[in-house]
Amino acid sequence: MTTAAAKPVTMAQALQRAMRDAMAEDPTVHVMGEDVGTLGGVFRVTDGLTKEFGEDRCTDTPLAEAGILGTAVGMAMYGLRPVVEMQFDAFAYPAFEQLISHVARMRNRTRGGMPLPLTIRVPYGGGIGGVEHHSDSSEAYYMATPGLHVVTPATVEDAYGMLRAAIASDDPVVFLEPKRLYWSKAQWSPDAPTAVEPIGRAVVRRPGRSATLITYGPSVPVCMEAAEAARAEGWDLEVVDLRSLVPFDDETVCASVRRTGRAVVVHESNGFGGPGGEIAARVTERCFHHLEAPVLRVAGFDIPYPPPMLEKHHLPGVDRVLDAVARLQWEAES
């Protein structure tokens, strides 16, 4: 076997490769959704799968999200491993009944008799100039539902490795794909994929000593850039990429915060009732005596996702992260 040399590969291509390899290895893996067949998905993530594996393995379904997920539940009951694509974040909502009332709890209600090995791929988040309903960050809804794994890759390697792990998982996994990173590239050799941390583990993307940026998905590159920029101000920032929101890796996160004594949670979904509140609370409960300042949050505003011409004002960028870092120089009010 010849091993392809590393070449620039996009996240979308790595995701496609993950499905292709999973389908080739395991005949029970089925991909289904709207436009996933002939078109290859509106983001081309399923490109070529129907051609290679036939319409029964990669299926253009009728246009009905509850129907897609509901039939996938039945397929999983019969021993298949469906990988479902929801075309865009906000179009997954019709399927929430199936997701919350059945997907998340089938294992539980049947005392383990009927686990559902299902992967639900959701392109999510903004920053691509999408019109309304094409830019939601819906992770908090999924996180609030016990029984689901909720993960989101930020690198090309993780996109491949985590999707393979999600498909292989015996639990349902909501696999959130940061849309604006679909075209991000890395040097990667598809025939010798790099091993990645398993689902459920966070990763320190950049070590640092003076504060921790806790982030995931589309905000990871933002935090990496902020960490570079902060060096000029004398800050040595550590960046933790959560990768998995459920389960949550308290260990890696808290080890980092105990080292640095300061933390900012960064995500683009709205702050109120958002993931950052949960994360800040967990960190405070576990690391209170190590904290030199309150855990801060940098999040999107508490508004419906704005129209594309305004989204740059909504999305937390490098400057907002740096502002928060500056506020970590906490002085107790007298």
Partner 1 sequence: MTVQELPGDAAYRPTPPPAWQPRTDPGPLLPDPEPYRVLGTDAAAAVDQELLLRLYAELVRGRRYNAQATALTKQGRLAVYPSSTGQEACEVAAAMALEERDWLFPSYRDTLAAVARGLDPVQALTLLRGDWHTGYDPHEHRIAPLCTPLATQLPHAVGLAHAARLKGDDVVALAMVGDGGTSEGDFHEALNFAAVWQAPAVFLVQNNGFAISVPLAKQTAAPSLAHKAVGYGMPGRLVDGNDAAAVHQVLTEAVERARRGGGPTLIEAVTYRMDAHTNADDATRYRGESEVDVWRAHDPILLLERELTRRGLLDDRVRNAAAEAAETMAAALREQMNADPVLDPMDLFTHVYAERTGQLREQAAQLTAELDAAADAEGEAR
Quote the CA–CA distance of 251 and 289 in Å, as a whole number.
Answer: 16
Q: Mask of contacts with partner 1, 133-152, x by CB under 8 A? A: -------------xx-x---
Catalytic one of 134, 149, 267, 314: 134
Segment interacting with partner 1 (CB under 8 A) among 35-43, 249-257, 265-273, 311-319: 249-257
Query: What type of residue sits at position 49?
Result: L
Active site residue 134: yes
Residue 79 as a binder of partner 1 (CB under 8 A): the answer is yes
Q: How many CB atoms lie within 10 A of CB 46?
A: 27
Instruction: Pick the binder of partner 1 from 16, 46, 71, 210 (CB under 8 A).
Output: 71
Q: Which secondary structure element, helix H or strand E, spans residue 186, and what is its range?
A: strand 185-188
276 closest CA partner among 260, 299, 244, 258: 299
Segment interacting with partner 1 (CB under 8 A) among 79-87, 150-158, 179-187, 211-219: 79-87
Instruction: Pick the binder of partner 1 from 38, 51, 101, 310 (CB under 8 A).
Output: 101
Quote the CA–CA distance of 161 and 18 in Å, as a whole number.
Answer: 7
Residue 66 as a binder of partner 1 (CB under 8 A): the answer is yes
In 3-state terms, what secondary structure has residue 112? Answer: coil
Contact 240/252 with Cβ under 8 angstroms?
yes
Cis peptide upstream of residue 247 (ω within 30 degrees of 0): yes
Window 156 to 195, contacts with partner 1 (CB under 8 A): 169-171
Instruction: Pick the binder of partner 1 from 97, 225, 236, 323 (CB under 8 A).
Output: 97
Q: Which is nearer to partner 1, 115 or 306 (CB)?
A: 115
At closest approach, how far in Å is the CB of 16 from partner 1?
22
At closest approach, how far in Å is the CB of 150 from partner 1?
11
SS3 percent helix, strand, coil of the chain, rounded to 5, is 40, 20, 40
Residue 290 as a binder of partner 1 (CB under 8 A): the answer is no
Q: How far is CA 140 from the centre of its chain?
A: 11
Quote the CA–CA distance of 29 and 168 in Å, as a whole number.
Answer: 9
Residue 61 as a binder of partner 1 (CB under 8 A): the answer is yes
Residues within the interface to partner 1 (CB under 8 A): 30, 56, 61-62, 64, 66-67, 69-80, 82, 94, 97-98, 101-102, 105-115, 146-147, 149, 169-171, 200, 246-251
